[in-house]
Amino acid sequence: DAKTTQPNSMESNEEEPVHLPCNHSTISGTDYIHWYRQLPSQGPEYVIHGLTSNVNNRMASLAIAEDRKSSTLILHRATLRDAAVYYCIPLSNQAGTALIFGKGTTLSVSS
Amino acid sequence: GAVVSQHPSRVICKSGTSVKIECRSLDFQATTMFWYRQFPKQSLMLMATSNEGSKATYEQGVEKDKFLINHASLTLSTLTVTSAHPEDSSFYICSARTGQIDSYNEQFFGPGTRLTVL
């Protein structure tokens, strides 16, 4: 499994953009970069994923470095409901393989 | 998106008893399901990978005789914590990935089961 490095915690104010970085220098060429988040006392939920190109969806954007050794999750306008632990996980797309969670980044959002 | 349910959402039991947790994929067939455990202020730890109709594969350090996993159908997996002790108190989360071909296999998570062993 590819190792990841994420800041332990980050803080943001409501309505401001948030950039959550992740280093995954040992990622394999076929691994997708997955981002999940976990709100307190809930199961993780999918945020976004990408392989090589930058990706956008209604929740966030994912910027992937050209060498794929790092990526950044971008929340364009943070809300209080975005306060969660965010996990960056490189993993293949095979159905039988499980996401392996690191420590993630705890995002705090202030009003 | 696809939904994974768990039952019960929380359970309190006495030390020495066994507890069964059910995990269901409600609108897709899950050939493989996963069980995780999460202690307070820690990350999720993968316990085992459960394949329909066959024995589960346990991660190193997870006792297979203590954590019995059954995956009898494509939509149901169960985790039984046998002879539970206070150190087994934790948040147990099940998960499944869709098995699509040539498409992204998102991993969906259940809401978790809070187990407290007195």
Whole-angstrom distance, CA of residue A25 vs CA of residue A103: 17
Whole-angstrom distance, CA of residue A51 vs CA of residue A31: 7
A86: pLDDT strictly greater than 90: yes
A35, A62, A97, A106: which to substitute to probe chain B, counting the most B Cβ within 10 Å? A97
- pLDDT, one tens digit per residue, over B44-75 is 999 999 988 888 999 999 999 999 999 988 89
- Average pLDDT in the B76-82 region? 96
Task: Please tell me the predicted confidence (pLDDT) of residue A5.
Answer: 96
Calculate the CA B20 to chain-centre distance: 10
For A102, nearest residue in chain B (alpha carbons): B43
Task: Please tell me the predicted confidence (pLDDT) of residue B54.
Answer: 85
Mean pLDDT of chain A: 94
Tell me if B104 and A44 make a contact (CB, 8 A cut-off): no
- pLDDT, one tens digit per residue, over B9-49 is 999 999 999 999 999 999 888 888 999 999 999 999 999 99
Task: Please tell me the predicted confidence (pLDDT) of residue B102.
Answer: 63
Q: Which residues, 6+ apart, have CB-to-CB distance to A67 below 8 Å?
A: none
Tell me if B97 and A42 make a contact (CB, 8 A cut-off): no
Instruction: Match 């147990």 to its residue by tokens.
Output: B92
For B97, nearest residue in chain A (alpha carbons): A95
CA distance B100 to chain A (A): 8
For residue A83, list its beta bridge partners.
none
Q: Counting runs of H as helices and runs of E as strands, what totals does chain A give?
A: 0, 9
- Whether the CB-CB separation of B107 and A35 falls below 8 Å is answered with no
Which residues on A lie below 8 Å from B93 (Cβ)?
Answer: 43-44
Mean pLDDT of chain B: 92
Pairwise pLDDT comparison (A30 vs B86), residue with the higher score: B86
Whole-angstrom distance, CA of residue A85 vs CA of residue A43: 11
